[in-house]
A and B are shown apart, each in its own frame.
Chain A
């Protein structure tokens, strides 16, 4: 997996490309930990180029959402493919995570 990042106003946008399997999750967790430690609280995860998510990735998303909830932060997932949305739904997370169809809509949903 490769990661790209940009800051858009007060939102930290993390673009992911590839597979969020165990190896991808390890890379993601390492990066996100640094981002949170740097004080970022509004995180947008761009799933446009993510082809796969397994339970290790879902666990990482749950931990991230918990940590942000504890610090008045906000997490939005954008452009999540149908099979991945299905996996989130089966996991009972469909209503817990904010998932928006596009990155632009996600950006507009963070507090200014």
Chain B
């Protein structure tokens, strides 16, 4: 069975709670194990936080959408926002071999997302960012 839901979200960090709550229900309905649920939550948290914090540097109230499609084989999340152009697939990776004193803190969320998901895709169409995250479920 394929389940598809679209959530309309505000650029407010409190929205993450409703996303996590939705993912929790989805994982329960589809018998997705806790370690997989952790990865899905983490990837969504990191990418949605980026949109909320950086998509509209001018401030103000904005909305964006999260569409989640789940089949027995795959979890697909598509995030669409009309903020500044931002391609997470081209963001420089942090230097993981650097000693502690030289560690930079930026870029880690994008890096983690790229590591734990099977793919992260980006498109810029008609002034909008489309980020698609995919994770195999079996």
Contact = CB atoms under 8 A, between A and B. Distances in A.
B27 interface: no
A14 B38 CA distance: 24
Given A22-B13, A92-B96, A52 B109 contact: no
Contacts of A54: 42, 45-46, 49, 109, 112
Contact of B42 (A65, A87, A96): A87
B26 interface: no
A63 interface: yes
B41 A22 contact: no
Given A90-B116, A92-B97, A55 B108 contact: yes
A55 B50 CA distance: 11
Nearest to B41: A52
Interface residues of B, number: 24
A58 B35 CA distance: 18
Interface string B60-94: 00000000000000000000000000000000001
Contacts of A59: 105, 108
Contact of A96 (B38, B100, B109): B100
Contacts of A21: 16, 45
Interface of B: 13, 16, 34-35, 38-39, 41-42, 45-46, 49, 94, 96-97, 100-101, 103, 105, 108-109, 111-112, 115-116
A91 B41 contact: no
Contacts of B101: 66, 69
Contacts of A22: 13, 16, 49
Nearest to A69: B100
Contacts of A1: none
Given A52-B42, A62-B100, A96-B100, 10 more contacts: A21-B45, A54-B42, A55-B108, A55-B109, A55-B112, A63-B105, A66-B101, A69-B101, A82-B35, A86-B35
A62 B105 contact: yes
9 contacts: A54-B49, A55-B109, A59-B105, A69-B101, A83-B39, A87-B112, A90-B112, A90-B115, A92-B97
